[in-house]
């Protein structure tokens, strides 16, 4: 589903954000990407979403080599992806429902089916009764649920979530992870970036770790040991 081979990302000033990164994520997996602030997590997500391109190496998603994608093909790739950014990128002058409808409107989805999909997405994340609410009136956890609904309304095969539990209380963070787990249970591939070991679920997940741009995979171990390594 996702294969990165010897990926390096070097910026013009000479800084290497990623260095010889390789990993593979199979369809339907839920994987956590951890590391300190500035480790390269957000850079990797930009490469996976074809927002940026690697300096060297290759990234293949669902059989497509991102380096070979034309600019016109990038929007079609992104329809396979549910993207959650750190700042959520909500439209605060539009209602909850309008925020979720937007991705469908962009691709020209029929209005009646778009409405049905948007309402179903809001129900999946626990916001079925907030359609006419403005995002500013939602709590932080509810805003994150809204961002998830908007990310999945196109029924993506892959969800890329960058720090989705940041700045949430423990209860809200657990609820957000449960939503992702529910999507993974129906076959969606989920990659979650986090710098907080406390956000890892109780059941031992697969964990990739970035440290100053270099990646390792943490071996299966106890939760306490994982938290100690990630801290």
- The answer to whether the CB of 151 falls within 8 A of the CB of 80 is no
* Residue whose pair of structure tokens reads 């998830």 in the numeric block: 148
Domain boundary, last residue among 154, 177, 200: 154
Is pTM, for the whole model, over 0.75?
yes
Closest to 161 in 3D by CA, of 140, 172, 145, 138: 145
Domain that holds residue 185: 2-80+156-230
More confident residue, 202 or 157: 157
- Beta-strand runs (E) in 94-213: 158-162, 189-194, 206-211
Residues 142-168: pLDDT tens digits?
999 999 999 999 999 999 999 998 888
- Kindly state whether residue 86 falls inside one of the protein's structural domains: no
Contact 58, 65 (CB under 8 A): yes
In this structure, the answer to whether residues 161 and 114 fall within a common structural domain is no
- Residue 226: pLDDT band (50, 70, 90) is very low
Residue range 121-126: mean pLDDT, rounded: 95
CATH code, domain carrying 172: 3.40.50.300
Same-domain check for residues 75 and 164 = yes
CA angle (88 as vertex; 138, 134 as ends), nearest 5: 30
Q: Are 178 and 185 in contact (CB under 8 A)?
A: no
Residues 199 and 231 sit within 8 Å (Cβ to Cβ): no
DSSP 169: -
Q: Which of 61, 4, 77 is nearest to 27 (CA)?
A: 61
Tokens of 104: 């469908």
- 63 and 109 share a domain? no
Q: Quick check: 176 and 126 in contact, CB under 8 A?
A: no
Residue finishing a domain among 154, 171, 203: 154
**Same domain assignment for residues 117 and 164:** no
pLDDT digits (tens, 9 = 90+) for 65-87: 998 889 899 988 998 999 998 88
Fill in the DSSP letter of residue 196: -
pLDDT band (50, 70, 90) for residue 198 = low
The strand pairing partners of 4, in sequence order, are 23, 59
With a pLDDT cut of 70, the percent of the chain lying above it is 91
Same domain, 97 and 62: no
Q: Which of 8-22, 23-37, 110-124, 210-224 has the lowest mean pLDDT?
A: 210-224
| CA-to-CA dists, residue 36 to 54, 124, 204, 209, 214, angstroms | 21, 31, 20, 9, 12
Q: Using the predicted structure, report yes or no on whether residue 224 has a pLDDT greater than 50.
A: no
- Residue appearing with tokens 């778009």: 114
């Amino acid at each position: 589903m996702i294969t990165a081979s010897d990926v390096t990302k070097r910026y013009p000033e000479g800084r290497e954000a990623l260095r010889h990164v390789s990993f593979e994520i199979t369809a339907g997996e839920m994987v956590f990407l951890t590391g300190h602030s500035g480790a390269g997590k957000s850079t990797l997500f930009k490469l996976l979403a074809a927002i940026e391109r690697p300096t060297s190496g290759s990234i293949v998603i669902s059989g497509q080599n991102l380096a070979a994608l034309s600019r016109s093909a990038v929007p079609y790739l992104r329809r396979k992806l549910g993207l959650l950014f750190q700042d959520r990128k909500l439209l605060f002058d539009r209602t909850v429902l309008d925020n979720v409808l937007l991705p469908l409107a962009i691709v020209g989805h029929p209005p009646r089916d778009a409405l049905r999909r948007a309402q179903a997405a809001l129900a999946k994340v626990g916001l079925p009764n907030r359609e006419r609410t403005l995002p500013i009136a939602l709590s932080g956890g509810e805003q994150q649920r809204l961002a998830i609904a908007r990310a999945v309304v196109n029924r993506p095969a892959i969800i890329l979530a960058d720090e989705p539990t940041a700045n949430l209380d423990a209860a809200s963070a657990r609820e957000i992870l449960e939503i992702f787990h529910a999507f993974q249970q129906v076959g969606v591939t989920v990659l979650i970036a986090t710098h907080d070991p406390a956000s890892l679920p109780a059941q031992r997940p697969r964990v990739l770790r970035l440290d100053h741009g270099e990646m390792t995979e943490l071996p299966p171990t106890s939760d306490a040991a994982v938290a100690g390594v990630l801290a």
